[in-house]
């Protein structure tokens, strides 16, 4: 029962790992890596969900009568595209942040922001 | 043509966004964008009329029947939201050209209008669709474009704010995606109406509870419910003025809509309010949000920050109306949704006008502006009064219904706390009024001129709307009542 659902355990594990990286790491690129792992775990979750026992890939072929559910695959194709767009935008922002602040470490950026804020007050 | 309005609402701005690149002349693109959003404004008015006269409109994409194909479903709630987004979007856009000249290099103007239209598309899509996965896709369209819009801000902190928003927004959207997946696993359908029917059979399973929790947390991240609001203040403060005015009036409202849709339509009232202690949870978070955010607003020195925190507090009011869980409470939420969009867009546009003339929205820069920019400051005062909830403004109407709902439900302490929360708003509005009217102009600064008419016209349209809907409440109350009653299954 528990081992039979091993792919869901992997999903949960990856989800936790990804989420932890997003929260714990201060490096902007590492955060994005964590975010990607987090999103990928959801992709695996959808794909496992669409699986039918001894079903083949949902492509019409001779001699096959059992297919996996194609809908989750299609949905996740969309979600993958969205994930790519998010990662690309995040990386582009990281590049711009590096140009503007000279760093991609969260704490250094916050120190610089604090300095700007103090200057604008006086 | 009339039958296709639900899809035209979404598809026209979507198609128009890439077309912006062919025009590539700042003024021309602006006119084009204005035309497109003006069209969606007209569409939403016609849709609202149709819905109010003949009931829910169902539009099947490509002619496929509902559970298999995607359907767009417009009822009173959707129509009200579409109206809010499209009108505020259009009015704000009117001032965009003037504001952008000061805040954005010329070569980025096309990009701005293109992103603006995409963001509109996303919000229209979320509201119009009756398919849960479509919601996710449109949510990402509007979110991705708003991250980019925020990053356009002049200050480098805008980049950092956009990045943080991206991380938190994506976590929220992924949570929603997980929730949708779990629901699909249990029911095999993505259509909201169909889901509602099928969930009845499986509603006591742990998977459905998990799906519910994921969806609620994801949506609450998007609507900046305290304590998930951390992305909001900086994102609003450092984005270009137009973007702030637009997002403050629309983005969180759409998320509130989604929350209502998920709990009332998909899961149904009994299930939603019985699985989790949702009522108590939201009531407490809403109240704490009002006090924490209003207090934070009092201590801020950047006026955009002040109003950003005030937005979080206003979300608190909406959530309280929602948590009261009666038809009147929901109606108060919907009214506040509409009214808050009017107040905040007027306030942030006025701040945009200050930004245009003074170049900064630090509170200290407001000294003496009461004499130098009388019309802009008067607009801030009126919209500020509306934010506090003074009679004859829209803010009074929504708070009135909120109090009525709280008292009807026997929640006296809530009513008292809501009133106390409004007093905090008096303090931060007064700080601005005092600086603008009772302090001498900053020494050594050139006298500031009144904002150009392209700014004043949209600001005052919104301010007058604030007063008009505060006196003549027939339209708003009627629509909000119809929407909340249909969600509660009461036939008027």
CA distance B309 to B302: 11
Give the minimum alpha-carbon distance from A57 to chain B in angstroms, rounded to a whole number: 19
- State the virtual CA torsion across B178, B180, B181, B185 in degrees, nearest 10: 140
* Distance (Å, whole) CA B480 – CA B321: 13
Is A122's pLDDT higher than 70?
no
Backbone dihedral angles phi then psi of residue A30, each to the nearest 5 degrees = -65, -35
The pLDDT of residue A69? 86
pLDDT of residue B231: 87
Distances in Å between the Cα of B175 and the Cα atoms of B171, B218, B283, B289, B329 are 6, 5, 23, 22, 27
Q: What pLDDT does residue B491 have?
A: 58
* Residue from A89, A98, A110, A122 to probe the interface with B (highest B Cβ count within 10 Å): A89
8 Å CB contact between B265 and B330: no
Indicate the residue of A89, A113, A121 with minimum beta-carbon distance to B144. Answer: A89
- The minimal CB distance from A93 to the residues B137, B166, B173 is found for B166
Q: Find the length of chain A.
A: 122
Taking chain B (492 residues) in consecutive chunks of 10 residues, what is each chunk's mean pLDDT? Answer: 80 89 85 91 90 85 80 88 91 88 85 92 91 91 93 88 92 93 88 85 83 91 86 89 91 91 85 78 90 90 90 91 87 90 91 87 83 88 90 88 89 87 89 87 78 88 90 85 82 54
DSSP A54: T
Model pLDDT, residue B97: 86
Coil, helix or strand at residue B72? strand
Q: Does residue B236 belong to the interface with chain A, where contact is any CB pair within 8 Å?
A: no
Do B308 and B236 touch, CB atoms closer than 8 A?
yes
Which among A19, A38, A90 has the least Cβ separation from residue B163? Answer: A90
Domain ranges for chain A: 27-52+67-122
Cβ neighbours of B119 in A, within 8 Å = none
Contact between A121 and B301 using a beta-carbon 8 Å cutoff: yes
Q: How far is A105 from chain B (nearest CA, A)?
A: 11
Phi, psi (degrees; rounded to nearest 5) at B203 = -75, -5
Global ipTM: 0.93
List, in order, residues 6 or more apart from B365 with CB less than 8 Å away.
B354, B358, B442
Q: Which of A79, A97, A120 sits opposite B362 (nearest CB)?
A: A120
Mark out chain A residues that contact chain B at CB-CB < 8 A: 19, 22, 28, 31, 35, 38-39, 42, 45-46, 49, 71-72, 75, 78-79, 82, 85-86, 89-90, 93-94, 96-97, 100-101, 109, 113, 116, 120-121
Residue from B158, B133, B138 nearest B147 by CA: B158
> What is the arithmetic mean of pLDDT over A101-115?
87
User: Going along B6-106, which residue ranges are E strands?
Assistant: 57-60, 71-74
Secondary structure letter of residue B131 according to DSSP: B
From B137, B167, B181, residue closest to A42, measured CB to CB:
B181
User: Is B137 within 8 Å of A82 when comparing Cβ atoms?
Assistant: yes
CB–CB contact A121 B167 (8 Å): no
User: Locate tokens 């696993």: which residue?
Assistant: B185
Of the partner residues B159, B166, B181, the one whose CB lies closest to the CB of residue A86: B166
CA distance B91 to chain A (A): 29
Question: Side-chain half-sphere of B129: how many Cα atoms within 13 Å?
Answer: 26
CB atoms inside a 10 Å sphere around CB A113: 17
pLDDT digit string, tens, across residues A38-52: 999 999 999 888 888
* Residue A104: pLDDT over 90: no
**Triad A89, A91, A96: Cα angle to 5°:** 95
How many CA atoms lie within 13 Å of B4's alpha carbon, on the beta-carbon side? 7
CA angle B464, B465, B467 (to 5 degrees): 65
Instruction: Report phi then psi at B60, rounded to 5.
Output: -100, 120
Residue A121: the pLDDT is 61
Enumerate long-range contacts of B200-205, CB under 8 Å, 24 or more apart. B200/B268, B203/B267, B203/B271
Residue A93 Cα, gap to closest chain B Cα (Å): 6
Write the residue in B148, B171, B184 that is nearest to A89 by C-beta: B148
**Pairwise CB contact (< 8 Å): A19 & B157:** no
B380 at interface of A, judged by CB pairs closer than 8 A: no
Please check whether residue B231 touches A, CB under 8 A.
no
Q: CB distance B159–A82 less than 8 Å?
A: no
Token readout for B147 is: 């991250």
Residue B432, SS3? helix
- CB pair distance less than 8 Å for B177 and A100: no
The structure tokens listed for B488 are 């509660």
CB contact under 8 A, A31 and B167: yes
pLDDT at B91: 92
- What is the spatial distance between Cα B95 and Cα B97, in angstroms, rounded to a whole number? 6
Q: What is the pLDDT of residue A71?
A: 87
> What's the rounded Cα separation, in Å, for the pair B192 and B58?
13
* Interface contact flag, A82 B151, Cβ < 8 Å: no
Q: Is B73 helix (H, G, I), strand (E, B) or coil?
A: strand
pLDDT band for position A112 (cuts 50, 70, 90): confident
Determine the 3-state secondary structure of B60 from DSSP: strand
Determine how many CB atoms are found less than 10 A away from the CB of residue A70: 12
Q: What residues form DSSP beta bridges with B74? A: B57
Q: Between chains, do B170 and A35 touch, taking CB under 8 Å as contact?
A: yes
What's the pLDDT at B1?
65
Question: With an 8 Å Cβ cutoff, are A49 and B301 in contact?
Answer: no
Q: Answer whether B156 sits within 8 Å of A101, measured CB to CB.
A: yes
Asked if B183 has any chain A CB less than 8 Å from its own CB, the reply is no
pTM, whole model, 2 decimals?
0.91
Asked if the C-beta of B159 comes within 8 angstroms of chain A's C-beta atoms, the answer is yes
Q: How far is A61 from chain B (nearest CA, A)?
A: 23
Task: Give residues with Cβ within 8 angstroms of B443, minimum separation 6.
Answer: none
The mean predicted confidence, pLDDT, of chain A is: 87
Q: From CA B51, how far away is CA B77, in angstroms rounded?
A: 10
Burial tier of B358 (Cβ tally within 10 Å: 0-12, 13-18, 19+): middle
Q: What is the DSSP letter of B449?
A: P
Q: Which residue has the higher pLDDT, B345 or A56?
A: B345
Which chain A residues touch B140 with a CB distance below 8 Å? 82, 85-86
- Closest CA relative to residue B484, chosen from B349, B337, B311: B337
By Cβ distance, the residue of A35, A75, A100 closest to B159 is: A100
């Amino acid at each position: 029962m528990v081992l039979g659902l091993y792919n869901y355990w992997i999903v949960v594990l990856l989800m936790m790992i990804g989420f932890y990286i997003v929260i714990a790491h201060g490096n902007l690129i590492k955060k994005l890596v964590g975010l990607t792992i987090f999103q990928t775990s959801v992709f695996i979750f959808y794909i496992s969900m669409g699986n039918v026992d001894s079903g083949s890939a949902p492509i019409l072929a001779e001699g096959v009568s059992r297919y996996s559910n194609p809908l989750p695959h299609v949905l996740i194709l969309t979600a993958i595209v969205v994930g790519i767009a998010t990662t690309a935008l995040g990386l582009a922002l990281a590049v711009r942040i590096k140009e503007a602040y000279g760093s991609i470490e969260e704490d250094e950026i916050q120190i610089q922001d604090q300095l700007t804020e103090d200057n604008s007050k006086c | 043509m009339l039958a296709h309005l639900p899809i035209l609402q979404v598809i026209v701005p979507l198609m128009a966004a890439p077309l912006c690149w062919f025009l590539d002349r700042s003024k021309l693109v602006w006119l084009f964008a204005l035309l497109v959003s003006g069209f969606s404004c007209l569409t939403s008015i016609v849709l609202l009329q149709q819905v109010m006269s003949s009931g829910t409109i169902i539009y099947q994409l490509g002619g496929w029947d509902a559970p298999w194909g995607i359907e767009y479903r417009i009822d009173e709630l959707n129509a009200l939201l579409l109206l809010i987004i499209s009108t505020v979007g259009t009015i704000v856009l009117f001032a965009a050209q003037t504001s952008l000249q000061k805040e954005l290099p010329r070569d980025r103007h096309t990009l701005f209008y293109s992103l603006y239209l995409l963001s509109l598309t996303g919000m229209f899509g979320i509201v119009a669709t009756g398919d849960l996965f479509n919601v996710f896709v449109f949510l990402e369209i509007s979110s991705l474009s708003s991250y980019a819009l925020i990053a356009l801000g002049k200050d480098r902190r805008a980049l950092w704010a956009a990045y943080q928003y991206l991380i938190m927004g994506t976590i929220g959207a992924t949570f929603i995606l997980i929730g949708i997946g779990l629901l699909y696993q249990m029911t095999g359908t993505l259509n909201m109406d169909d889901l509602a029917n099928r969930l009845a059979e499986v509603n006591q399973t742990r998977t459905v509870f998990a799906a519910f929790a994921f969806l609620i947390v994801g949506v609450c991240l998007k609507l900046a419910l305290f304590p998930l609001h951390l992305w909001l203040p900086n994102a609003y403060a450092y984005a270009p003025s137009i973007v702030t005015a637009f997002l403050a009036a629309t983005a969180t409202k759409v998320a509130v809509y989604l929350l209502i849709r998920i709990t009332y339509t998909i899961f149904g009232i009994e299930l939603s309010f019985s699985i989790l202690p949702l009522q108590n949870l939201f009531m407490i978070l809403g109240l704490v949000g009002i006090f924490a955010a209003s207090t934070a607003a009092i201590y801020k020195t950047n006026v955009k920050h002040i109003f950003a925190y005030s937005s979080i507090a206003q979300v608190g009011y909406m959530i309280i109306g929602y948590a009261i869980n009666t038809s009147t409470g929901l109606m108060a939420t919907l009214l506040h949704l509409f009214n808050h969009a009017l107040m905040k867009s007027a306030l942030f546009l006025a701040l945009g006008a200050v930004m245009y003339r003074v170049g900064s929205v630090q509170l200290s820069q407001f000294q003496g502006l009461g004499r130098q920019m009388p019309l802009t400051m008067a607009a801030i005062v009126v919209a500020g009064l509306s934010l506090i909830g003074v009679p004859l403004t829209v803010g009074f109407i929504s708070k009135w219904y909120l109090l009525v709902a709280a008292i009807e439900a026997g929640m006296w302490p809530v009513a008292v706390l809501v009133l106390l929360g409004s007093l905090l708003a008096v303090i931060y509005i007064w700080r601005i009024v005092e600086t603008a009217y009772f302090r001498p102009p900053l020494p050594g600064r050139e006298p500031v001129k009144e904002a150009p008419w392209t700014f004043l016209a949209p600001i005052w349209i919104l301010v007058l709307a604030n007063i008009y809907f505060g006196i003549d409440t027939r339209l708003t109350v009627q629509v909000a009542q119809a929407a909340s009653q249909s969600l509660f299954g009461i036939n008027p």
